Structure 1
Amino acid sequence: MIARIPCNWHFNPPAAPHMGGIWEAGIKSVKHHLKRVIGIQVLTYEEMETLVIRIEGQPILSLPEIDVTAVPMNRLTRWQLIRQMHQSFWKRWLSEYLTTLQGRLKWTTKEENIKIGDLVIVEAPNRPPAEWKMGRIIAVHPGLDQVVRVATV
């Protein structure tokens, strides 16, 4: 069965993750956020596996869960603790990692303004993980310098 899946393997030299390129950077980022979310908690293999699988593949159409990120850890069952870690991971990922994907370079070159009809992602911090609120630009409001910094979605 595995022979039917075309796959090209690229091996890094031992102890040289910097040669892995973009996929190693992704792994490093996930490990960074996992360490901060798990903290000093000791998870069983099954709990860790559940957490990682929920992070990587929660169905987009799943029902929203109650936000337990603000509940103290000593009041949570083990399942609620995993849910809290999952929710905390996605909040951190959204606020710390996704914002780095949009480069904010010095404005030395002119960029094209957004225009009416453009599709945008609307920031909605109360949305569940992997649920992106989309919007369509219906009006733009350029400043005195003709740069659009405000839009009606």
Structure 2
Amino acid sequence: MHETVINKIRGMYFINRLRALYKKVRWECQKCKNASTMPQPPQMATLPAARIAAFERPFTYVGIDYFGPLFVAVGRRREKRWGVIFTCLTLRAVHIEVAHSLDTSSSVMAIRNFVSRRGYPREIFSDNGTNFKASEKIICENLKDTDWAAVVSSFDEVKWRFNPPGTPHMGGAWERLVRSVKKVLFEILPSTSFTDESLRSALSEVEFILNARPLTFVSLESSDDEALTPNHLLIGSSDGYKPIGSNTLSLRQRWQLTQQFADRFWHRWVREYLPVISRRTKWFVKKRPACVGDIVVIADQDLPRNSWPKGRIVNVVRAKDGQVRSAMVATKSGILHRPIVKIAILDVGTEQSKQTLESSFTGAGVLPTKNYGRAVSNA
């Protein structure tokens, strides 16, 4: 299209350095700037503390998500069931529960079933699902409701952290495992019509298979140790085999051997697995961060590009490394909390935002005192 315009102008007028002049006009055209602007992802953050919490018991830091629906046969009718996946963010172990609906009661019961088998987590991470929001109010804020008082009394110390809306990449630790669950479930039972009992049994098999997956490089040398798996810390071996111990060991010696096994696992985890997940393959360079007062376009994959909402940034959320990860944007439909990877900054900012550009790029500055909603950093 651009060459067509240059060709038409050349046929009508002789202009020296026409191509360079045309590019300059395009770069100064506000309409062209608005049409070509793209979100600029900030520099990738370091791993959050929940991903590198070595020497903690399994499922201390947990990510939760739903998947499905899965259909089961109940008599002569088919009903929907949903899987609830709990993943240990440090060990990458998986726990799966079955929910009969998407309401708050099923969500709370699924979490209670998880806690009964795995213990209380210290922090829970999830997206902004309405059932998770309601469960957080019941579990973490400990509402004085007679129906729930006895159930949630032990959750006082649990913290629930929500990712910003529209940021599935911030929940990649469990989103990728949802795909693995679906793949294994389809491979072992591609066309089976489930009942409630068979679905629960199948998901238990999937849970065991995923917990037996290697986390580290599988060496073919016979002298090397077996690759680490989540099952090593959960049940003592990758395949569930429990060797018979010697009767000559006293109770204290058995306890010491168990502690030595756990310590050896975590030392290998730090030495072999941690360097693998610490690698960065993109987003190395710091970008110009969003500032309060910037005019932006919110990239919405569900809308055509010319229908993306526009607005002004009224608040930004900085990570510990000084980078802006999400922002509050005032639009005609209200205040929206969106990640920076889905915000495109237009070159029409106010003078105040331009003056704060230099200090913002170095990570200086403070947040505005006004609070427009919950803002959680994932770095």
Is TM-score (shorter-chain normalized) higher than 0.5?
A: no
Normalised TM-score (structure 2): 0.17
Normalised TM-score (structure 1): 0.36
The structure with the greater share of residues assigned to strand is 2
CA radius of gyration, larger in: 2
